[in-house]
């Protein structure tokens, strides 16, 4: 009796299983992780090239540019969230799995964040340095990026689920996600700017945290619904 209960898969075992699978796949294809990172770095390079390298301007625009670049890089990486599974039939397996679909979707999103959001956060101090961001501000920036990329991965998974397998799905995905991502961008970039100006920035952090928690509780359900709809 006790044995059989102990052998039942827990509700989150599907989460770890899907996350582990995606992480393994990403490990074997490091390009999937590195490409968005290079994109992030390149976008950060584009701005000084376009508007000139004046130090004051760089410092002023740093938070905004870094945030926009992070957003765009995340968008880029979201494309392939469900695409591989769609193409090789694994998505159908996920859909008929006895595990609750929102949990599985969350697992995939977790793996996505670990392979796109987290690397972005880790690389950001280097780029922040090129924008002459004061070292005291860098931890704030990293915190906003952590919270923000979590929200972006979650919201993005909804869009990816809605557009999986569609013709020209890439452009459509961006069009769908960007309006949803704008509040995150606003909050993130402006919180960092406030910190850089020695203003009180805690409101922004709380707001970003709230957004991340809200996304975490709601997005998996929307993603699951969207997956079922796109694949029926």
Task: Return residues touching another protein (CB under 8 A).
Answer: 155, 158, 162-163, 166-169, 172, 175-176, 178-180, 182-183, 186-187, 190, 194, 203, 207, 211, 218, 222, 225-226, 229-230, 232
d(CA 155, CA 117): 13
Residue closer to another protein (CB basis): 35 or 231: 231
d(CA 144, CA 110): 18
Residue closer to another protein (CB basis): 26 or 164: 164
Q: How far is the CB of 123 from another protein (least distance, A)?
A: 26
Q: How far is the CB of 197 from another protein (least distance, A)?
A: 10
Q: How far is the CB of 206 from another protein (least distance, A)?
A: 12
Q: How far is the CB of 180 from another protein (least distance, A)?
A: 5
Q: Quick one: how far is CA 88 from the chain centroid?
A: 24
d(CA 57, CA 226): 43
Residue closer to another protein (CB basis): 46 or 186: 186
């Amino acid at each position: 009796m006790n044995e059989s209960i102990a052998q039942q898969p827990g509700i989150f075992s599907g989460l770890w299983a899907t996350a582990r699978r995606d992480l393994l796949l990403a490990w074997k294809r490091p390009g999937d992780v590195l490409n968005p990172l290079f994109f992030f770095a390149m976008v950060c390079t584009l701005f000084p090239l376009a508007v000139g390298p004046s130090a004051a301007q760089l410092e002023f625009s740093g938070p905004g540019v870094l945030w926009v670049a992070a957003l765009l890089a995340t968008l880029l990486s979201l494309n392939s969230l469900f695409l591989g599974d769609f193409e090789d039939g694994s998505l159908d397996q996920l859909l008929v799995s006895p595990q609750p679909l929102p949990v599985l979707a969350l697992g995939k999103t977790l793996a996505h964040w670990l392979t796109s959001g987290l690397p972005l956060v880790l690389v950001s101090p280097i780029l922040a340095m090129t924008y002459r961001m004061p070292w005291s501000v860098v931890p704030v920036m990293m915190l906003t990026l952590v919270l923000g990329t979590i929200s972006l991965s979650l919201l993005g998974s909804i869009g990816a689920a809605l557009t999986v397998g569609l013709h020209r799905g890439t452009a459509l995905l961006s069009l769908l996600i960007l309006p949803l991502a704008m509040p995150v961008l606003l909050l993130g970039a402006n919180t960092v700017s406030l910190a850089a100006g020695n203003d009180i920035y805690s409101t922004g952090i709380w707001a970003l945290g709230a957004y991340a928690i809200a996304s975490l509780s709601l997005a998996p359900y929307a993603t699951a619904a969207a997956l079922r709809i796109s694949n029926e």
